Amino acid sequence: MKHVIPLILALGLSNMSCGKSKKEEPVNKEQENQEMKQSEATEQDEPKVEVAVITTEYGDMVVEFFEEAAPKHVESFKLHANNGYYDGTIFHRVIPGFMIQGGDPNTKGDNKASYGTGGHAAKFYGIGNEDEPTSWNLPAEFNDINHVRGILSMARSNSPNSGGSQFFICAGPAPHLNGGYTVFGQVVQGDQVIEQIVNLPRDARDNPNRRVTMKVRLEKRSK
């Protein structure tokens, strides 16, 4: 105990000394204000990237786009996101280890037989009847980006130029799709959300037994 008391006293004196020194330090308010302004200016000058945030009951998935690789697909997706086209739709098809699929406006209803048959491009890209928006499709923009986990790609029928609004997110590598489906983005946050959705119990048509609705918005974030 004789060795403990001097140590405590020493610490106490040290703390008192530090406290006194701190009180005597001059504060330059003008310098502080300048530093705050410089910090705010630096944040404003940082380059921003527009991302999509897909919100579900399991959390958010943040998607960055490959605008140079598939400009029309990115534009169409963004237009749909801005006008609320995707809000209230569901992930209507899930296959463990492969992908989760959504973006069909028919899934806002209860007719499961129609799931996977609806959707169109957000504007006219030269495919379909210009006077009938529901006939608008996207021209293929196949690229050399591989289908790996987290990739956002456009669903289509047998025709290469049949992409509309339905998309899928890979839950694992899918090399057999490379070069045959248009990749236009990648999930950079929210991998655990993919995992939860893709492993939901499903029926014989790969429809999840529960409805997983989504809401999609665009945000600008620092790179």
- Whether residues 55 and 11 share a domain: the answer is no
179 is in which domain, residue-wise? 49-222
Q: What is the DSSP letter of 92?
A: E
Backbone angles phi, psi at 202, to 5 degrees: -140, 165
**171: its two tokens:** 């839950």
Which pLDDT value is given to residue 38? Answer: 66
Based on the fold, state whether residues 15 and 65 are members of the same structural domain: no
Helices (H), the chain: 4-24, 29-45, 71-82, 191-198
Same-domain status, 116 and 16: no
From the list 119, 177, 118, the residue with the least C-alpha distance to 145 is 177
Judge if 71 and 19 occupy the same domain: no
User: Do 32 and 97 fall into the same domain?
Assistant: no
Q: How many domains does the chain have?
A: 2
The reply to whether 20 and 111 lie within a common domain is no
Q: Give the domain CATH number at 218.
A: 2.40.100.10
Query: 87-107 pLDDT, tens per residue?
Result: 999 999 999 999 999 999 999
Residues 158 and 121 in one domain: yes
Q: Are residues 34 and 100 in the same domain?
A: no
Query: Within this chain, do residues 137 and 90 fall inside the same structural domain, yes or no?
Result: yes
Same domain, 153 and 191: yes
Task: Please report the DSSP string for 25-81 in residue order.
Answer: S---HHHHHHHHHHHHHHHHHS-EEEEEEEEETTEEEEEEE-TTT-HHHHHHHHHHH
My answer on whether 32 and 82 are in the same domain is no
Q: What pLDDT shows up at residue 184?
A: 98
Q: What is the pLDDT along the chain (223 residues), one digit of tens a residue?
A: 444 434 333 334 344 444 444 455 555 666 666 766 665 655 566 789 999 999 999 999 999 999 999 999 999 999 999 999 999 999 999 999 999 999 999 999 999 999 999 999 999 999 999 999 999 999 999 999 999 999 999 999 999 999 999 999 999 999 999 999 999 999 999 999 999 999 999 999 999 999 999 999 999 998 7
CB atoms near residue 104 (< 10 Å): 24
Same domain for 54 and 139, yes or no, is yes
- Is pTM beyond 0.85? Reply is no
Predicted local confidence at residue 66, as pLDDT: 98
